[in-house]
Amino acid sequence: MAVDSSSQQSGTTISQINVTPLVDVMLVLLVIFMVTAPIIQQGVQVNLPQAKAGAIPGKEEQLVVAVTRNGRIYLNDNPMTLSELGQKLRAIRGLQADKEVYLRADQDVRYGAVMKVVAEIKQAGIQKLGMVTRLPGQEEG
């Protein structure tokens, strides 16, 4: 029968680290983040059209122009008019010439409203314009 030699000495302390409480805390935090992550929604609610293209990997803070169903325009969650959007994008382009802009337009918004926004983005000098869609079968959010 195997006997632990360290248990035979009386008055000594155990020099092993008990990691069970640490693992328990980490698992609780993991569950909390898994539950709260879908609840946190960033941006303006837009019903995106479907497309079979994959996501574009982002490197830095993105500029997202959103057009809602009722034609309201947002730049990174900030509501603005079409002329204000052009002024902001021109100022941003002055700081970063190769800045990318992503357009999230509701699928029910009028085509003309989207084209006015695209024209304003192009007139501001933005050359890289991406259109945001959702994959077929993907939930909106």
Q: Evaluate whether residue 133 is within a structural domain.
A: yes
Q: Evaluate whether residue 49 is within a structural domain.
A: yes
- Per the document, the length of the chain is 141
In the predicted structure, residue 8 carries a pLDDT above the cut 60:
no
Instruction: Return the CATH number at 99.
Output: 3.30.420.270
CA atoms within 13 A on the CB side of 16: 6
Give me 59's structure tokens.
Answer: 């490197």
Tally the domains of the chain: 1
Q: Evaluate whether residue 84 is within a structural domain.
A: yes
- pLDDT tens-digit readout, 87-104: 888 888 888 777 788 888
Instruction: Provide the residue range defining the domain that includes 80.
Output: 43-141
Across 6-10, 28-32, 33-37, 98-102, least confident range: 6-10
pLDDT of residue 57: 58
Q: Evaluate whether residue 36 is within a structural domain.
A: no
Q: Evaluate whether residue 66 is within a structural domain.
A: yes
